[in-house]
């Protein structure tokens, strides 16, 4: 009688699955960058209440957050070729629809999905910064970019990090559905190996171990970043004399420029 469960196979299949880990990491990395960039743009549009664009962004976020990621992958996989055929028809071009790499469909779907969720996180983080700090920065003569870089961004990142970490973990696990776009990553390779040996349970146990280790690494990384970028809960009494916070090598340092100017006036 053959083994009901083969423990040895669980660990011997891991190296074969790890050969496709770069594909999973590529999907995650590119989709994460797309998600953060578009998410930031959506957040800025909503914060400044840009007419028309705000309504369009709200509709986009609602649709993406209200539909399953696997449906979005299918829509992208079949929708992009259809859109390209229409473009060829009306513009007289001859772009090869079948020449689009399958990974592009998965990256687009995952990136747009990530942007919808991250946009709300980024918006809430930026709005968590007190308006008084922005007004104080304007009074010191800072322009919009300087205010964002020195006041809003450092504090918003600290607030958003936990949620962005959870979102990244969800993205890593979401790449396991990229096989619907004919992308062979670690989950798709696990299905192939299981189909050859008919040991599906062992193959999925191997996948579970890999994803679990990746998740632990991401959790530890974001915990480290949170500690490095955390704002001290208490500061010295000098902070009440008109000092402002600016990023420094140790995470946060007090800028005494404003305080020195006050001293000269006295």
Percent share of the chain, pLDDT over 70: 86
Lowest-pLDDT choice from 90-94, 109-113, 253-257: 253-257
Question: Whole-model pTM?
Answer: 0.81
Average the pLDDT over 91-117 and give the result: 91
What average pLDDT does the segment 76-84 reach? 92
Query: Hey, is 255 helix, strand or coil?
Result: strand
pLDDT band with cut points at 50, 70 and 90 for residue 251: very low
Tokens standing for 46? 């909503």
Q: What does each C-alpha distance from 229 to 56, 162, 254 come to in angstroms?
A: 34, 12, 14
Per-residue pLDDT reduced to its tens digit, 181-208: 999 999 999 999 998 888 899 999 999 9
Q: How confident is the model at residue 234 (pLDDT cuts 50, 70, 90)?
A: low
pLDDT value, residue 122: 92
Q: How far apart are CA 208 and CA 231, in angstroms?
A: 36
Inform me whether the pLDDT recorded for 243 exceeds 80.
Answer: no
Residue 1: predicted pLDDT: 43
> CB count, 10 Å around CB of 154?
19
- Write down the pLDDT at residue 107: 96
The confidence band for 265, taking pLDDT boundaries of 50, 70 and 90, is very low
pLDDT per position as a tens digit, 109-156? 999 999 999 999 999 998 888 888 888 888 888 887 888 788 888 888
pLDDT score, position 201: 93
Rg (CA), the chain: 24
**Measured at the alpha carbon of residue 134, what is the angle toward residues 127 and 141, in degrees to the nearest 5?**
155
Comparing 202 with 229, the larger pLDDT belongs to 202
pLDDT tens, position by position, 23-50: 999 999 999 999 999 999 999 999 888 8
Q: What is the pLDDT of residue 257?
A: 43
Instruction: Indicate the pLDDT class of residue 256, thresholds 50, 70 and 90.
Output: very low
Angstrom distances, CA of residue 128 to CA of 47, 123, 158, 209: 12, 9, 11, 37
């Amino acid at each position: 009688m053959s083994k009901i469960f083969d423990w040895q196979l669980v660990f011997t299949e891991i190296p074969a699955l790890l050969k496709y880990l770069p594909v999973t990491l590529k999907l995650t990395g590119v989709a994460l960058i797309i998600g953060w960039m578009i998410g930031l743009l959506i957040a800025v549009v909503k914060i400044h209440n840009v007419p028309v664009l705000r309504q369009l962004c709200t509709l986009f976020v609602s649709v993406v957050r209200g539909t399953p990621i696997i449906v979005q992958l299918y829509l992208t996989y079949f929708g992009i070729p259809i859109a390209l055929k229409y473009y060829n028809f009306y513009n007289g071009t001859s772009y090869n629809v079948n020449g689009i790499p399958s990974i592009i469909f998965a990256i687009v779907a995952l990136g747009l999905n990530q942007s919808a969720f991250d946009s709300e996180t980024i918006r809430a983080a930026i709005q968590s910064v007190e308006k008084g700090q922005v007004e104080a920065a304007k009074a010191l003569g800072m322009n919009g970019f300087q205010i964002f870089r020195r006041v809003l961004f450092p504090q918003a990142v600290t607030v958003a990090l936990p949620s962005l970490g959870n979102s990244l973990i969800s993205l890593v696990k979401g790449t396991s559905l990229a096989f619907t776009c004919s992308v062979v990553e670690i989950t798709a390779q696990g299905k192939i190996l299981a189909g050859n040996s008919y040991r599906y349970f062992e193959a999925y146990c191997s996948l579970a171990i890999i994803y679990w280790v990746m998740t632990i690494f991401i959790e530890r990384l974001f915990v480290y970043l949170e500690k490095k970028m955390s704002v001290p809960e208490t500061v010295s009494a000098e902070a009440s004399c008109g000092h402002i916070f600016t990023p420094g090598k140790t995470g946060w340092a007090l800028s005494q420029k404003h305080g020195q100017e006050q001293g000269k006036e006295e």
